[in-house]
Amino acid sequence: MTQSEVNQLLALAIRQARDLGIPVAKNISPVVELNFRAKNRFGCCIHRPTGPVIELNAKLAMEGNRDAILQVLVHEVLHTCPTCSNHDYRWQFYANLMNQHYGYNIQRTDNFSNLGLEDDRQVKYWVICNRCGKRFARLKRSAVTDYPERYRCQCGGTLRVEKAPPGTRR
Ligand SMILES: [Zn+2]
Ligand SMILES: [Zn+2]
């Protein structure tokens, strides 16, 4: 999505919340700020002197689908309500209201699969040295995972490949 498309979704998120009488802040910045460093966090609500600013994970903004982006924006917009800076009772109440009316699945914490994104930190294969036992994490199929016999470890040992169980991280 482009920056202006993301900004439009933010305006929609704010409008939907207000339509249900949810007291989101009046001075939310209309410009969503993209965060290129965040890996595990998909959105953030930053309180600036000029008003709340909604930050969005840049990978989600660029590769995520519209519904996932909108849902994260709604999650963050709800943090601008009075006494909603955490995920306590009041924030949860508003989140449930949005879920019921618009079919969102807003949760306290999101994860990659929840948002329909591929988790690029997920280890898919281990390439293991038969001599020194060193293990190399591979995130996707490649020549070395397909043909380990063509390669050697730094120690000179031959290699074998094992599929990593789902959910394996480096
Ligand atoms: Zn939150
Ligand atoms: Zn080795």
Do 97 and 56 belong to one domain? yes
How many domains is the chain built from? 2
Ligand 1: distance of its center to the CA of 11 in Å?
18
Measured from the alpha carbon of residue 71, the closest ligand is: 1
* In a shared domain, residues 133 and 154: yes
Q: Are residues 133 and 153 in the same domain?
A: yes
Interval between CA 86 and ligand 1 midpoint (Å): 6
Q: Does residue 120 sit within a domain?
A: no
> Same domain, yes or no, for 88 and 147?
no
Radius of gyration of the CA atoms of the chain, in A: 21
Domain at 42, CATH number: 3.30.2010.10
Gap between the Cα atoms of 65 and 61, Å rounded: 8
- Within a domain: residue 38? yes
99 falls within a domain: yes
> Separation of 167 CA from ligand 2 center, angstroms?
25
Cα(155) to centroid(ligand 1), Å = 47
Query: Based on the domain organization, do 65 and 146 belong to the same domain?
Result: no
Asked whether residue 113 carries a pLDDT value surpassing 80, the answer given is: no
| Contact indicator for 92, 85 with CB cutoff of 8 Å | no
Do 52 and 129 fall within a single domain?
no
Under 8 Å CB-to-CB from 4, ≥6 apart: which residues?
none
Q: Could you tell me the distance, in angstroms and rounded to a whole number, from the CA of residue 136 to the centre of ligand 2?
A: 10
Residues 108 and 133 in one domain: no
83 lies in the same domain as 145: no
Distance (Å) from CA 136 to ligand 1 centroid: 35
The answer to whether residues 89 and 129 belong to one domain is no
Cross-strand partners of 136 = 127
Q: How far is the CA of 111 from the centre of ligand 1 (A)?
A: 12
Cα of 166 from ligand 1 centre, angstroms: 26
Local structure of residue 118 (DSSP, 8 states): -
Cα of 140 to ligand 2 centre, how many Å?
A: 21
Residue 169 is assigned to a structural domain of this protein: no
116-129 average pLDDT score:
80
Same domain, 149 and 103: no
| 27 occurs within a structural domain | yes
Cα(137) to centroid(ligand 1), Å = 31
Question: For the residues 27-40, what does the mean pLDDT come to?
Answer: 91
Please indicate, yes or no, whether residues 79 and 33 belong to a single structural domain of this protein: yes
Nearest ligand to the C-alpha atom of residue 85: 1
Question: Residue 139: is its pLDDT beyond 90?
Answer: no
Indicate whether 142 belongs to any domain: yes
**Is residue 83 domain-shared with residue 101, that is, in the same domain?**
yes
pLDDT of residue 119: 64
- pLDDT value at residue 120: 62
| Maximum pairwise Cα distance, the chain | 67
The answer to the question of residue 12 being in a domain is yes
pLDDT tens per residue across span 40-93 = 789 999 999 999 999 999 989 998 889 999 999 999 999 999 999 999 999 999
154: three-class secondary structure by DSSP: coil
Domain that includes residue 64, residue range = 3-115
Q: What contacts 26, CB < 8 A, 6 or more positions away? A: none
